[in-house]
Amino acid sequence: MTDYELSESSARRRMRSRYDRPRYSVSWVALILGLTASCFGMIYLSRFLFPVSTETAPWQLSADAKNAYVVAIVLDYTHDGDLANAVQRLVDLRLPVDDPIQAVADIACQLATSPYISTNSGVDAVRAMIQFYKLQNKSGCADDLPLVSNNQPMVVTLILPTPTLLPPPTKTPEPNIFIPENTPAPTRTPFVPPTAPPASFELVVANTFCDTALSGIIEVRVINRNGVELPAQPIRVRWDNGSNTFYTGLKPERGLGYADYQMEQGRAYTIEMPALSNPSTTPLTATPCFTDNNQPAILSYRVVFREG
Query: Cα(77)–Cα(70) distance, rounded to whole angstroms?
Result: 11
Which residues are CB-contacts of 260 (< 8 A; sequence separation ≥ 6)? 217, 218, 219, 220, 251, 254
Length of the chain: 308
Whole-prediction pTM value? 0.56
Residues 211, 303: one domain? yes
pLDDT in tens, the chain (308 residues): 565 555 666 656 655 555 555 555 556 666 677 777 777 666 656 665 555 545 567 777 888 888 888 888 888 888 888 888 888 888 888 888 788 888 888 888 888 888 887 777 788 888 888 888 888 888 888 887 776 655 544 333 344 455 555 566 556 555 555 555 665 655 555 544 444 455 689 999 899 999 999 999 999 999 999 999 999 899 999 999 899 999 999 888 888 899 999 999 999 999 999 989 999 999 999 999 999 999 999 999 999 999 98
Residues 142, 236: one domain? no
Query: Cα(83)–Cα(95) distance, rounded to whole angstroms?
Result: 17
The reply to whether 16 falls in a domain is no
The reply to whether 286 falls in a domain is yes
Q: What is the pLDDT of residue 191?
A: 45
Query: Cα(270)–Cα(282) distance, rounded to whole angstroms?
Result: 7
Residue ranges making up the domain that contains 109: 58-149
- 19-to-6, 9, 22, 34, 125 alpha-carbon distances in Å: 21, 16, 8, 29, 88
Q: What is the pLDDT of residue 123?
A: 84
Residues 138, 219: one domain? no
The reply to whether 1 falls in a domain is no
The pair phi, psi for residue 84, each rounded to 5°, is -65, -40
The reply to whether 174 falls in a domain is no
Residues 206, 296: one domain? yes
Residues 211, 283: one domain? yes
Residues 206, 301: one domain? yes
Tell me if 118 sits within 8 A of 168, measured CB to CB: no
- 141-to-97, 107, 116, 160, 285 alpha-carbon distances in Å: 16, 10, 15, 39, 47
Query: Cα(259)–Cα(244) distance, rounded to whole angstroms?
Result: 13
Q: What is the pLDDT of residue 89?
A: 85
The reply to whether 22 falls in a domain is no
The reply to whether 287 falls in a domain is yes
The reply to whether 24 falls in a domain is no
